[in-house]
Structures are given as C-alpha cells and as structure tokens.
Copies of this chain bind each other. A is one copy, B any other.
Amino acid sequence: MASVYGTKLKLSIFGESHGEAIGVVIDGFPAGLKLDFDAISAFMKRRAPGGSFSTKRKEADIPRIVSGVSDGYTNGYPICAVIENTNQHSASYQDKMTVPRPSHADFAAAIKYGEHTELHGGGHFSGRLTAPLVFAGALCSQYLATKGVEIAAHIKQMLDVTDRAFDMNVTADTLRELKTHAFPTLDEKAATAFADIINAAQEKGDSVGAKLECAAVGLPVSLGEHIFESVEAEISQLMFAIPAVKGIEFGAGFDFCKMYGSEANDAYEYVDGKIVTKTNNCGGIVGGMTTGMPIIFSVAMKPTPSIFTEQDSVDMANGVNTKLQINGRHDPCIAVRAVPVIEAGCAVALTELMLKADGRKL
C-alpha cells in the first residue's frame, strides 16, 4: 500500500531483492520526450554495485522498457521498466529469517506481513529497490533538463572530514561537471580522505555513515503547494523512500538553531532585473515554495547495517537471545552509490511539483 507515489506523476515500484524481477511503472510522464538511453544507463551505472567502494555483487541492472516508449519517444502512456534479477537464490539466503539483523527491516517486516513474507536479502526493503527509483529519476532529469533544471549531489561529511559546501550561486555547469567525478565530492582532497575512511572501515568489516548534499538549479519561482505539499515535504517523501536516510535539512537546516533572525533572513535585491536573495539560508524554499534560488538540502545516511562483526540479536523462532554473524557482500559506505539515488529522488519530486504547478491562477 505504499510503494506508490504521486498525484500527477505516479510511481509504482515492485520487486524483491531475490525475486524474479524488480521495476517501476511511471504513470503521467509527459508524452513527446526523446529519451537519451545512454544517459539513462550512465545514471543507473553510478548507482550499480561493482565499483571500488561497493559490494562485489554483480547486478546487471539493465532495465527493459516494456511500455510507454515508441520509437525512442515517450508516448504518453505508463512507462514500465523491468529489471531481471539474475542471481535470485544464492545459497546464503536459503532459510526463513528468524534472527533479525540489527537496524534492518527484518523484525518489523516479519511482524507486519507474517510467516509468508519474504526477507531474503531484505525482500522489498532491499537497497536494490532503489534501482527502479534511479530509472525514474533518470527520465525525470531529462524532462527537467528541457525546462532548464539541473540536479547533482555529493558527499559532504564522513566522520570529521568534510567536503566543501555548494556555493549559494552554484551553476548548472558545476552540477553537470560534478556528476562526472569518479568519487562524488566537490574537492578532490575530500574524495581521497573519504576513500581512506571507507577502506579502513571495510578492512575492519565495519561500515560508516555520511552526510550528502544535493543542489537543484534553474527552477521557476513558486513551485510547491501550501501547507501539506510544500517543496520540503515532497522532497522529504522521496528521500525517506531511500533506505538508510534518517534526516534531511534545507538550506541552513539545523544551523538555524544557532542563528538570530538578523543573520538568518535572506534579503531580496534586484540583480539584472531579476529578484534574487543576497544569501540563501532558506535553501531556495520559503513558505514551502521555490524562490528561484538554488534548492540546497542535505541528508543524513546511517552506516550500512550489514557489518561483519558478530552482533547480538534474538531468535524469534525459539524466543531466546542469540548471536548473529552476517556474511555476504555489502557496501562499507552506502553513501557513494546513494549519490545518484538522492539526485533521482530529487528529480522525481521536482517533476511532480512542475506538473502540479499548472492551473494555479487564471
């Protein structure tokens, strides 16, 4: 009842980690967009496992578009993409889950769906389900590009190491360039430091969390609806659809609690006949609506809960405490592959907001 999103742009995501296939139906996507399939592949490849800092599992992750596209153009009908699962029944997942993995969905899911649910590899809660979201985000990005909107994200913090923040006047060019980086940081020095942290964690069989920052530029003024459909709410819904995301802040975010109004307020001024703000503490959103300045937000990602240290847990079949040893292949830091997922979620939310924006006044 909940893998469905949206009112004008509607997503319906399906599949389990070890099921036959995963995918998405995208309903309401505008007709007439010539798709750049290479760009879709490149977008998805940034999320796919197999890189230096990610699980060694090989997921082909090639979406097969079975509807909604004719002769390379969107035709106005629902777009369904199916991604086959190639290694559905690996030996390490053979039995029913009885010992829930700490900080995984296992425990709550078992209670929710009962004995017939499927939790191998996380079932429908697996991070693998972000692949269809990235597919949808890739299409939305191409739609947004026709409107002059560009989106990119980077890792901003890991332990006590930080990358440079986005400039308040960040440009589309900077964002496009960022997406070509081998490691998603603005400064190369941060990339090296982050890589060192990840490698060290991996050697210990541990994992590490991170903060990511995302920017979107080129938006018209006044996207977003009053009270319950603010830009913040729309983006948050997509961000919390991504496993491991546990916090979000817009603009100055939690730093606002250390500020006076006289520092925090973003004064208006005309620059080249256009109204802009002198600062962008609000992250491009005021009253739940876009101001035309770059949207800037950060998300907190918890460390991958799959670690190789022995952990305490419970044996639900026998009602006793027990120990749990996780095997298999897991990302020591999910944040690296999460960067395109964050961008994708942002693209989906902004497309929905763009499509909803029509008809607000005569």
Nearest B residue to A282 via CB reads B103
Nearest B residue to A323 via CB reads B267
In the complex the two chains form, what is the Cα distance from A28 to B230 in whole Å?
A: 14
Q: Give a binary string over A316-349; 1 marks a CB under 8 Å from any B CB, 0 the rest.
A: 1001110000000000000000000000000000
Among A45-53, A174-182, A184-192, A296-304, which stretch is in contact with chain B? A296-304
Nearest B residue to A222 via CB reads B112
Instruction: Please name all residues of chain B whose beta carbon is closer than 8 Å to the beta carbon of A66 when the two chains form the complex.
Output: 14-15, 19-21, 23, 82
A246 touches B240 (CB 8 A): no
User: How many residues of chain A have a CB within 8 Å of chain B?
Assistant: 158
Q: Give a binary string over A18-45; 1 marks a CB under 8 Å from any B CB, 0 the rest.
A: 0111110101101111000000000000
Partner of A254 from the list B21, B254, B263, B319 (CB cut-off 8 Å) is: B254
Q: List 28 A-B contacts (CB under 8 A).
A: A1-B10, A2-B28, A7-B8, A11-B228, A14-B68, A15-B66, A19-B66, A19-B70, A31-B114, A32-B113, A75-B113, A75-B117, A75-B123, A76-B113, A77-B226, A108-B221, A160-B258, A206-B262, A209-B256, A232-B236, A233-B241, A236-B248, A246-B256, A254-B254, A257-B301, A261-B306, A267-B312, A268-B313
Partner of A314 from the list B22, B111, B256, B268 (CB cut-off 8 Å) is: B268
Given A1-B10, A2-B225, A254-B247: A307 touches B361 (CB 8 Å cut-off): no
A259 touches B303 (CB 8 A): yes
How far is the CB of A356 from the nearest CB of chain B, in Å?
7
Instruction: Please name all residues of chain B whose beta carbon is closer than 8 Å to the beta carbon of A265 when the two chains form the complex.
Output: 102-103, 303, 305, 307, 311
B307 touches A30 (CB 8 A): no
A256 touches B103 (CB 8 A): no
B246 touches A247 (CB 8 A): no
B290 touches A302 (CB 8 A): no
In the complex the two chains form, what is the Cα distance from A320 to B114 in whole Å?
A: 43
Please report which residues of chain A, range 110-125, place their CB below 8 angstroms from some CB of chain B when the two chains form the complex: 111-118, 123-125
Chain B CB within 10 Å, residue with most, of A78, A275, A312 = A78
A63 at the interface (CB under 8 A from B): no
Give the number of copies in the complex. Answer: 4
Nearest B residue to A28 via CB reads B1
A268 touches B312 (CB 8 A): yes
A275 touches B314 (CB 8 A): yes
How far is the CB of A33 from the nearest CB of chain B, in Å?
6
Partner of A358 from the list B15, B221, B256, B359 (CB cut-off 8 Å) is: B359
A107 touches B32 (CB 8 A): no
A31 touches B113 (CB 8 A): yes
